[in-house]
Structure formats: structure tokens, C-alpha cells
Structure 1
């Protein structure tokens, strides 16, 4: 009798433990946006076909006089306020080139609604829908920085017919893209911080654990989420310090708080799962979207980037013959925010 009772108690305890463990892997719902009882909205939004909203900001010349229209995609842990082209390109050059730039909060970031069904493809379709809502015409440019740069590959795959050109700035590389040589990826992967190696492994192999992994105090979370400064070069730190130091305190607080406004899961953790998950295509299998030379694709990379391995970026550029590859000597991950770099990027793309 005693053994039977003990077995029953053990089963009950195991069931309770499994229930507790499962509940701890579930992320909390995102914070609500808008009235009457949600977070206040501070910028314009459009409604998409599925009922979600995208928040955006416009820069440069007005649409009706623009010769070039760019939809720019922000980085990991960024927002519509984090765009190197809009923030650092010379207003005089933007005027001279006739450039209009729209930057939007990606789903779950800032003031854009989350997309629980988000995929590698879905954001490219969101970008196309944004362009149509804003009446940008049949062709427009896309640009993206870091994780936003990785998303430009999706645009080249799924909406190439809508593109006038594309700019990838320090785009994130997925170590599991099948066309990357394993020897090269293993070498590059081994040089990443241990905490990032583990976070990327979890995102790739156990995506349902990403929230739990990155919110436990006994596990080191992804370095950008944790705010580990070791991922930045001295040049990066100098750029970041200069940029934030030039802002009024209230503006700096707004910009730094925007990315995680709704919580970390729908923004950061879902980004990790998609960016390092199993993709439906490999960028190196893409066909040239501009076979008639009526557009161009430019990839910019710093050769001292500590976040994105330059060795993998070089290999990708070598395999894609129609990519215009630009490597900045001494450039870290934030090189595009240095004086004059955004001007050079725009001149190359619009030239």
C-alpha cells in the first residue's frame, strides 16, 4: 500500500513539475498598443490586410517630387528611429539626389503590432503592402541594416519585381544556410561569444525555448539582449557614444526604449528564431533581379565587424556574381553611422 501511494505521489509531483516547466517556457503576451488602455501611439500607422498595423516615419524629400523612394528596415533591437541612412546621410545630399525614405517598426517592435505568424517571407510581403499603402509606385528601393539587412534577402526572393535596387548593410548571416561551407561556418561560429553560440543554437534547434533561455538569470542570454559591450569594436563604441551624446536626454531615452516597448518576445526572441531558423531558401540560390542592368544590389560590410563574420560575408558575395560588394577597412558593425559613410552608400545605390 505504501509503495502504491508513493508511486501516485511521484506521478503527481512529476505532472506538477512538467506543468510548471511548460508554463515557464511560455512568453507573456505583448503589451497592448493604443487607446483606451494601451500604450500611447506617437507616429503614423497603416492597417494591413490581416488587421495588423505598421508604424512608420518619413524622411527626405516628399513623395511627389522624389526621384528615388527607399523603404528601410531597422536592425535587431532597433526601431524606426534606428536607421543609418535617414539619420546620418547629409540632408543636402538627400535633397540633391531627390531621395524619400520611409522607415517602419518591424512587427512586434516599437509601435507595430506583433505578427504571431511571422515567417521569412511575411515581412517582404508587409514591405510590399506598405509601399502600396503609401503609393510609392511600381518600383522602390529597399535597404536594411544588420538583421534588417538580412531581411533584404527575403525581398530579393519574394518581391524582386517591385524593386528598383537594394542595399544590405552589415546583414546578419544565418550559419545554417546550406550553401555555406561547413568548415567556414564552423570556424566563424567558434569565434562568436559562447553566450551567442548557445542562443543561436537554441533559436535554431529549439525555438520554443528561446524566450525561456534568454530570460533565465542562470543562462547567459544573447549578447545584444544582455547589453554586453564586448561585441563592439573601439570604433563602434566611439560612434555610439558620439551619437547618443549629441542627443537631448529625453530623445536618447525615447530611442533606446522603443525597440522593447511591447516586450522582448515578439521583437527580439522571434527575430532570433526567424533569423537563425530553417529558411525556405538560400540567398546564394537567388537569381539576378536585374538581368537588364536596370537596378543594382549593394552589400556593405566592415572588415572588423565582431557581430557578423566578414569571412562568411565575403564568401556569399563571391558566390553571387551580381552583388556589388563594398568592404570598409577598419569598419566595425556600426561603420554606417560614421561621418560620410551613409552619403557614400546612397551615392553608390542611386548612381
Structure 2
């Protein structure tokens, strides 16, 4: 059952947990738009992996209080707040799509607590040097991020309308993107189990407002508050080469920027392939954390 933590400035952060309470703790940072109900492995799989999975609604989504003007880096403090409530001194993080930059923020700002990090189909920073940020990106995303940068009124009007449509049909956002999706993505989101998870994810995300969606778009389109090159914890970067929502050059830029990152590029995969690969990624996070713990105990 969902619970609420409270930030230092009094905001509510709604979260839930699944899997083995005694297992390795992993924060799953949801996509955009999204919620703590985002796609995740079944509890049986989590128990088999030895994973205690935690997910929360970013500010403005679901039941979490909006944080006006938030930056990507602010996610690190919110994750730490929930970890403190759960008495978790150390943990791992994984972010898919819009959760990717926020997972990177945790790895950069909380190196003494984050034992391992995984980032799936993430964007690179807006101001990434040498990156043509929009190259290979679908037109709907280009419009959204240009408006986030230059025309907040149009951004707000558009996403409020989109959120209204999603309340009537939570899958409306995917239906609108169907023409822009590669065939490999269409096959994945056609799976009945994945569709059920996405339906619940989107339903909770915009149940009250579009604020979280708006604030995500703005946060991605300004300085994140940290440089990925600061990251020193074991980090996995996973991407599908056919991704049109977070183009592959974003992955390539992050791979060059984060020293010693483990990089996995799947030539035949696209954006939504990050959903079925999650159990494998959770296993990698667990193994890296166990290696970190072993090294610390013998140091």
C-alpha cells in the first residue's frame, strides 16, 4: 500500500515498495509522464532476484506535492528522504526514460549511499557539449522540449490537454505516438501485461494535474544542476539503437562522459525495450552492490 514521506520543505512524496523486504533495495525512477505504478517485474520475480523495489511519484505526479522550479538534481534529496524513512543507509537506483536523468542525479549527488546505478534509454543534458540534442528525435518530443525552453504557455496548454485526454483514456498518450514508434516498440506495447502496467502508470500520473509532466519537460530543458562526469559509482547505461524518443546519440554522449560506465547498446531495440529488460538490469545492480559491500568489508 502506498505511503507518504515528507521532504524538509513539507512536501508529500508518495511511494510504495514490492518484492523482498530483506533484499537489496533499489529505487525505480519512473518515466515521463509516469508514477510509482510504472512498469516493474512481478513480486515473484523480485523475490527470486532478492530485490526490495521502491518507487515514488516525482513532485507534481500522482499524490506527490508539486515542487515549483525543480531541477533534475532535486530528485536526489527526495530519494534520500524516502531512504531515511525506510532506514536504508545504502541502495541502488534505476531510471527508465524520464527517470534516467534523475537516477544520474542520485548517483552524482549521493555517492556515499548509491552503490550502483542503471540508466535505461535516457536523455543527455540539454546543454551537452557537442551534441545535436534534437537529431533523430520524434517531432512530438521536439515540439514539447522546444516549448519547454521557449514557450511555457504553449507547453502548459498542450500538456494539460494531453492529461485531460489521458484521464478519459490512460493509453491516449501511446495511441498518439503510434505513428512515430518503430515497429519493435509497437510489438512491445501490444503485450497485454505491459499494456496493463502502462495503463495504471499513466492513470496515476495525471489523476490530479499535469504539473509533474510539465515540470519534467522544463527540468530536462535547463541545466540539470550537476555534470554526469561527476559520477563515480558503478553505472550501467542501456539503450536501443532504434530509439526515436531518446536518440542514440544521447546514450553515446553519456557513455563518453561517465568514466568507466558499463555500456549496452542493443542494435534491434528501441525505447520500450527498456521495460522487459528490467529484471536483468536489477540483477546487475544487485551484483554490483554486493561487490561494493564485499570490497568495503575487506578494506
2:230 pairs with 1:286? yes
- Residue 308 (1) aligns with residue 246 (2): yes
Q: Which runs of 5+ in 1 are unaligned?
A: 1-41, 218-222, 290-295
Map 1:212-291 → 2, pairs under 5 A? 212=157, 214=159, 227-243=176-192, 247=196, 254-264=200-210, 266-283=211-228, 285-289=229-233
Corresponding residue number in structure 1 for 2:58: 106
Offset, 1:301: 0.6
Once the 2 structures are TM-superposed, how far is the Cα of residue 150 of structure 1 from its aligned partner? 1.2
Deviations 1:10-52 (A, max 9, x none): xxxxxxxxxxxxxxxxxxxxxxxxxxxxxxxx73222222221
Give the counterpart of 1:95 among 44, 47, 68.
47
The 8 Å contact of residues 120 and 279 in structure 1, kept in 2 or not, is answered as: yes
Give the match for residue 169 of structure 2.
none
Report 1:34-183 matches (<5 A). 43-62=2-21, 65-66=22-23, 68-83=24-39, 87-88=40-41, 91-92=44-45, 94-136=46-88, 138-177=89-128, 179=129, 181=130
| 1:299 and 2:252 matched | no
1:210 to partner: Cα distance: 2.8
- Partner Cα distance (1:70, 1:99) in 2: 7
Q: Give the number of the structure with larger relative contact order, counting CA–CA contacts within 8 Å between residues 6 or more apart.
A: 2
Shift of 1:82: 0.8
TM-score (norm 2): 0.83
| Alpha-carbon distance, 1:117 to partner | 4.3
Distance 2:117 2:199 in 1: 31
The one of 320, 323, 336 aligned to 2:274: 336
The Cα shift of 1:110 comes to 1.1
How many residues are treated as equivalent by the alignment? Answer: 278
Q: TM-score, normalised by structure 1?
A: 0.71
Shift of 1:267: 1.1
Structure 1 counterpart of 2:167: none
Q: Distance in 2 between matches of 1:261 and 1:215?
A: 12
Structure 1 vs Structure 2 CA RMSD: 2.7
**Alpha-carbon distance in 2 for matches of 1:132, 1:54:** 13
Tell me how far apart the structure 2 counterparts of residues 297 and 277 of structure 1 sit (CA, whole Å).
Answer: 23
Aligned partners of 1:173 and 1:313 also within 8 Å = yes
Match of 2:256? 318
**Cα shift at 1:124:** 1.0
For structure 2, list consecutive stretches of 5 or more residues without a partner in the other structure. 163-171, 288-299
The separation in 1 between residues aligned to 2:275 and 2:81, in whole angstroms, is 28
Shift of 1:206: 4.1
Q: 8 Å contact 1:106–1:112 — kept in the other structure? A: yes
1:54/1:198 CA distance change after superposition, 3 Å: same
